[in-house]
């Protein structure tokens, strides 16, 4: 586990800090009660005495306000405990329901269920969300109970799921125009209740988990030892892990089904618990639950005051914005020994000849054929037809060229990232570029006065992604480009933007439709300038990648090996991450933030056993272009005259591909690459 370097504070310090937190929360609480109900005490007394004063204030106080306070405390405790349990068993200080993707599972179930199976709606939002979260935590327990995964692997899994969930919910909303207001409110995390059922449910789950934890306390405290030692002491390691992970998952599912997504409390509470000097497993779990409860209680009460005077903001989103920086903080503090080393994933024999070293002529032919086909054949009212009229081609060619370039750029940057981060599950999406770009578009749509400025999103996306890249590179350079750190930074950046988008969706502003279209990745707005710009970017990126082929190969082995063989690490890393950033930025501006091309295509390209060499880069670029051009064509023609954004079509293939490959790789004992 990550031991703290801070000197161990006295127990009194911990007690003092708890009391301070409690007093602040209680004071805030009485202030809001006074603010909203003028005389809460007499309301409470008259209700207790059974006198119905006939005033609706009494009902609101007893059935809206009090359940809310109770629920905030219970949910906080549940999330704190759940996070602490996950972190204990996964030996990863960043694991918790949000980062593990459990909330995303619930989200996926809700938004997909609302539309694909409207008959399921009779079950109610709570049941659907609960089952979604439960299924996902089941998958996590299955994947992770046997072995430890590196910090970033787990987080990337969760991040990907979160991204898939948000894209599914975008497409569902776009295609249905059905107002999913309640899903948006749920996504933003609302503690608003009109009865005690939710609080009771969470309390019950909390009680069950707490009693299990107490029963298993001996096994739990052995869990800090390495697996082999624990096994040697007679501990059924796998069984304990499985039970623990499942418990934490159920706890998270209970919270998410009642109150929606309350982000990152599960990271913050245990982190603070450790800062207060908790060292033993028992004290960390207990203090995490306590701190979680106090934090969420406080946050919610403060948010009530804010809502009263300024504007109503969902508490879950506020909590995500407040506590996501903990993720960043912890990621920066992690030392390399906390990051579980992984086996080398790319075979880097510098062999010449053999399979796959022949130039990728076949792929080149396929890519060209695709471009010609998509340029000329369209679906019209009368069926498939060849239409080459110049005024239509003027629309089609920039689009197809831009999409092809974007596909190639994404695939290349994905391959580069997977090599230098030595993480086969890395993809440009996790670098925070998509998050930055989305933030830029949000600014363009909402901050700018309505109307007139629609063309700007491209520029804003550009600015946003460049900014996020600068941040990631700057912080990454400080961390010496430790691959996992760069990825964790990207994940944190993504999380911030996702939260802001969620808040906007929950306001019900109709302009969110534009935002959703962009997130879904429509290529309809591609201009000739973009097509030419992306093509030039592709040429530059490929040229740099091919020039740096040797350092890339060596870096994909190990930083130490590369250094000893004469690679200057910092400049090379700057050049490579710079390339990745440029590529992903251009691609994101064209095709939106989400495609998974960068994840999927490098795997496909390697499928035939191609070695890491120039040939693999060519294959990747060509395959990426082909896949995305085909997705774009399908998107334009499948639901004619409606357009399904190409980005989302690609993501709907790439997302599941990723999950399945992850599931398959979990069955082999090796560190996760498919072949």
Q: Smallest gap, in angstroms, from Cβ of residue 77 to another protein?
A: 22
Binding mask 304-323 for another protein (x = CB under 8 A): --------x-----------
What is the rounded distance in angstroms from the CA atom of residue 143 to the CA atom of residue 571? 37
Tokens at residue 370, please?
A: 């695709």
What is the rounded distance in angstroms from the CA atom of residue 151 to the CA atom of residue 155? 6
Question: Is 329 or 397 the residue whose CB approaches another protein more closely?
Answer: 397
Task: Pick the stretch among 276-284, 410-418, 501-509, 561-569 that binds another protein (CB under 8 A).
Answer: 501-509
Q: Smallest gap, in angstroms, from Cβ of residue 155 to another protein?
A: 30
Which residue bears the tokens 């890395």? 426
Residue 664's nearest CA partner among 425, 415, 348, 429 is: 425
**Contact flag: residue 99 with another protein (CB under 8 A):** no
Q: Smallest gap, in angstroms, from Cβ of residue 607 to another protein?
A: 34
What is the rounded distance in angstroms from the CA atom of residue 457 to the CA atom of residue 437? 9
Residues 404-463 that bind another protein (CB under 8 A): 450-452, 454-455
- Please give the size of the binding site for another protein, defined by CB under 8 A: 60
Q: Smallest gap, in angstroms, from Cβ of residue 33 to another protein?
A: 15
**Contact flag: residue 657 with another protein (CB under 8 A):** no
**Contact flag: residue 332 with another protein (CB under 8 A):** no
What is the rounded distance in angstroms from the CA atom of residue 310 to the CA atom of residue 624? 47
**Contact flag: residue 361 with another protein (CB under 8 A):** no
**Contact flag: residue 374 with another protein (CB under 8 A):** no
Question: Is 397 or 657 the residue whose CB approaches another protein more closely?
Answer: 397
Q: Smallest gap, in angstroms, from Cβ of residue 59 to another protein?
A: 4
Question: Is 7 or 452 the residue whose CB approaches another protein more closely?
Answer: 452
**Contact flag: residue 575 with another protein (CB under 8 A):** no
**Contact flag: residue 182 with another protein (CB under 8 A):** yes
Task: Pick the stretch among 59-67, 160-168, 290-298, 612-620 that binds another protein (CB under 8 A).
Answer: 59-67
Question: Is 528 or 543 the residue whose CB approaches another protein more closely?
Answer: 528
Task: Pick the stretch among 72-80, 151-159, 410-418, 506-514 that binds another protein (CB under 8 A).
Answer: 506-514
Which residue bears the tokens 């040697």? 232
Question: Is 3 or 122 the residue whose CB approaches another protein more closely?
Answer: 122
Q: Smallest gap, in angstroms, from Cβ of residue 186 to another protein?
A: 7
Give, to the nearest 10 degrees, the angle between helix 197-215 and helix 66-90: 30
Quick one: how far is CA 181 from the chain centroid?
A: 22
Phi, then psi, of 350 in degrees rounded to 5? -85, 50
Other C-beta atoms closer than 10 Å to the C-beta of 668 total 10
Q: Is residue 541 a contact partner of residue 583, using CB atoms and an 8 Å limit?
A: yes
Q: Smallest gap, in angstroms, from Cβ of residue 529 to another protein?
A: 7
Q: Smallest gap, in angstroms, from Cβ of residue 515 to another protein?
A: 9
Question: Is 22 or 196 the residue whose CB approaches another protein more closely?
Answer: 196
**Contact flag: residue 631 with another protein (CB under 8 A):** no
User: CA separation (Å) from 98 to 182, 354, 455?
Assistant: 20, 45, 34
User: CA separation (Å) from 512 to 174, 177, 334?
Assistant: 10, 12, 37
Cβ partners under 8 Å of residue 257, min gap 6? 106, 125, 126, 127, 129, 130, 133, 201
Q: Smallest gap, in angstroms, from Cβ of residue 125 to another protein?
A: 5
Task: Pick the stretch among 80-88, 191-199, 247-255, 663-671 that binds another protein (CB under 8 A).
Answer: 191-199
What is the rounded distance in angstroms from the CA atom of residue 554 to the CA atom of residue 565? 8
**Contact flag: residue 202 with another protein (CB under 8 A):** no
What is the rounded distance in angstroms from the CA atom of residue 425 to the CA atom of residue 430? 10
Ramachandran category for residue 10: left, alpha or beta (phi over 0 → left; psi -120 to 50 → alpha): beta
Residues 214-233 that bind another protein (CB under 8 A): none
Identify the residue among 241, 342, 396, 553 touching another protein (CB under 8 A). Answer: 396
Q: Is residue 585 a contact partner of residue 466, using CB atoms and an 8 Å limit?
A: yes
**Contact flag: residue 507 with another protein (CB under 8 A):** yes
**Contact flag: residue 38 with another protein (CB under 8 A):** no
Q: Is 439 exposed, middle or buried (0-12, 13-18, 19+ CB in 10 A)?
A: buried
**Contact flag: residue 480 with another protein (CB under 8 A):** no
Question: Is 372 or 565 the residue whose CB approaches another protein more closely?
Answer: 372
Cβ partners under 8 Å of residue 614, min gap 6? 546, 549
**Contact flag: residue 192 with another protein (CB under 8 A):** yes
Residues in the chain: 675
Q: Smallest gap, in angstroms, from Cβ of residue 158 to another protein?
A: 26
Other C-beta atoms closer than 10 Å to the C-beta of 24 total 15
**Contact flag: residue 590 with another protein (CB under 8 A):** no
**Contact flag: residue 259 with another protein (CB under 8 A):** no
**Contact flag: residue 117 with another protein (CB under 8 A):** no
For 276-291, give the DSSP string. TT--SHHHHHHHHHHH
Cis peptide bond upstream of 417, omega within 30? no
Identify the residue among 383, 390, 560, 566 touching another protein (CB under 8 A). Answer: 390
Identify the residue among 24, 364, 377, 514 touching another protein (CB under 8 A). Answer: 514
**Contact flag: residue 236 with another protein (CB under 8 A):** no
Question: Is 39 or 178 the residue whose CB approaches another protein more closely?
Answer: 178
**Contact flag: residue 510 with another protein (CB under 8 A):** yes
**Contact flag: residue 636 with another protein (CB under 8 A):** yes
Residue 423's nearest CA partner among 326, 364, 488 is: 488
- Provide, for the chain, the percentages of residues in helix, strand and coil under a 3-state DSSP scheme, each rounded to the nearest 5: 75, 0, 25
Cβ partners under 8 Å of residue 26, min gap 6? none
Binding site for another protein (CB under 8 A): 56, 59-60, 63-64, 118, 121-122, 124-125, 174, 177, 179, 181-182, 185-186, 190, 192-195, 312, 378, 381, 390-397, 450-452, 454-455, 506-511, 513-514, 516-517, 522, 524-525, 527-529, 636, 640-643, 645
């Amino acid at each position: 586990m990550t031991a703290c370097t801070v000197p161990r504070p006295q127990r009194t310090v911990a007690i003092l800090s708890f009391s301070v937190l409690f007093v602040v929360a209680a004071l805030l609480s009485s202030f809001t009660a006074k603010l909203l109900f003028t005389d809460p005490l007499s309301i409470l007394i008259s209700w207790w005495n059974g006198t119905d004063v006939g005033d609706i204030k009494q009902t609101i106080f007893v059935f809206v306000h009090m359940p809310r306070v109770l629920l905030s405390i219970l949910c906080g405790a549940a999330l704190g405990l759940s996070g602490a349990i996950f972190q204990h068993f996964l030996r990863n200080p960043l694991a918790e329901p949000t980062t593990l993707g459990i909330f995303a599972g619930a989200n996926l179930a809700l938004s997909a269920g609302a539309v694909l199976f409207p008959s399921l709606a009779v079950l109610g939002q709570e049941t659907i969300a609960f089952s979604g979260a439960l299924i996902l935590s089941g998958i996590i327990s299955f994947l992770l109970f046997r072995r430890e995964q590196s910090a970033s692997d787990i987080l990337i899994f969760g991040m990907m799921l979160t991204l898939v969930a948000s894209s599914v919910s975008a497409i569902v909303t776009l295609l249905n125009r059905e107002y999913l207001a309640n899903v948006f409110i749920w996504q933003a995390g609302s503690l608003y209740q009109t009865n005690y059922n939710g609080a009771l449910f969470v309390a019950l789950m909390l009680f069950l988990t707490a009693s299990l934890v107490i029963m298993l306390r001996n096994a739990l405290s052995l869990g800090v030892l390495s697996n082999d030692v624990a096994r040697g002491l007679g501990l059924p390691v796998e069984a304990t892990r499985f039970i623990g992970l499942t418990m934490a998952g159920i706890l998270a599912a209970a919270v998410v089904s009642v109150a929606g997504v309350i982000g990152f409390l599960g990271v913050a509470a245990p982190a603070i618990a450790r800062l207060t000097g908790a060292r033993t497993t028992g004290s960390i779990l207990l203090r995490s639950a306590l701190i979680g409860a106090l934090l969420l209680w406080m946050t919610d009460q403060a948010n009530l005051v804010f809502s009263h005077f300024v504007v109503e903001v969902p508490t879950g989103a506020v909590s995500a914005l407040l506590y996501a920086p903990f993720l960043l903080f912890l990621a920066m503090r992690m030392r390399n020994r906390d990051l579980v080393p992984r086996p080398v994933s790319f075979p880097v024999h510098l062999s010449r000849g053999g399979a796959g070293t022949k130039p990728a002529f076949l792929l080149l032919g396929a890519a060209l054929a695709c471009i010609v086909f998509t340029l000329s054949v369209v679906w019209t009212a009368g069926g498939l037809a060849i239409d080459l009229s110049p005024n239509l081609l003027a629309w089609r060619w920039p689009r197809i060229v831009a999409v092809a370039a974007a596909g190639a750029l994404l695939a290349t940057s994905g391959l580069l990232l997977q090599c230098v981060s030595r993480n086969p599950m890395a993809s440009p999406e996790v670098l925070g570029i998509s998050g930055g770009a989305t933030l830029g578009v949000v600014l363009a749509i909402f901050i700018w006065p309505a109307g007139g400025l629609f063309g700007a999103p491209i520029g804003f996306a550009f600015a946003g992604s460049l900014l996020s890249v600068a941040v990631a590179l700057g912080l990454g350079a400080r961390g010496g480009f430790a691959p996992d750190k760069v990825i964790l930074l990207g994940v944190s950046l993504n999380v911030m933007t996702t939260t802001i988008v969620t808040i906007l969706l929950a306001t019900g502003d109709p302009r969110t439709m534009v935002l959703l279209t962009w997130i879904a990745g429509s290529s309809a707005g591609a201009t000739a300038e973009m097509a030419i710009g992306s093509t030039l970017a592709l040429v530059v990126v490929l040229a740099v990648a091919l020039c740096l082929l040797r350092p890339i190969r060596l870096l994909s082995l190990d930083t130490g090996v590369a250094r000893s063989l004469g690679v200057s690490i910092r400049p090379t890393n700057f050049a490579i991450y710079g390339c990745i950033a440029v590529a992903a930025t251009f691609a994101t501006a064209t095709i939106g933030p989400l495609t998974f091309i960068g994840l999927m295509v490098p795997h496909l390209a390697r499928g035939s056993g191609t070695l890491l060499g120039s040939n693999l880069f060519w294959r990747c670029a060509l395959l990426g272009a082909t896949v995305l051009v085909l997705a774009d064509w399908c998107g334009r023609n499948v639901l004619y005259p409606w357009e399904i954004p190409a980005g989302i079509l690609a993501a709907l293939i790439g997302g599941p591909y990723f999950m399945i490959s992850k599931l398959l790789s979990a069955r082999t004992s090796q560190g996760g690459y498919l072949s």
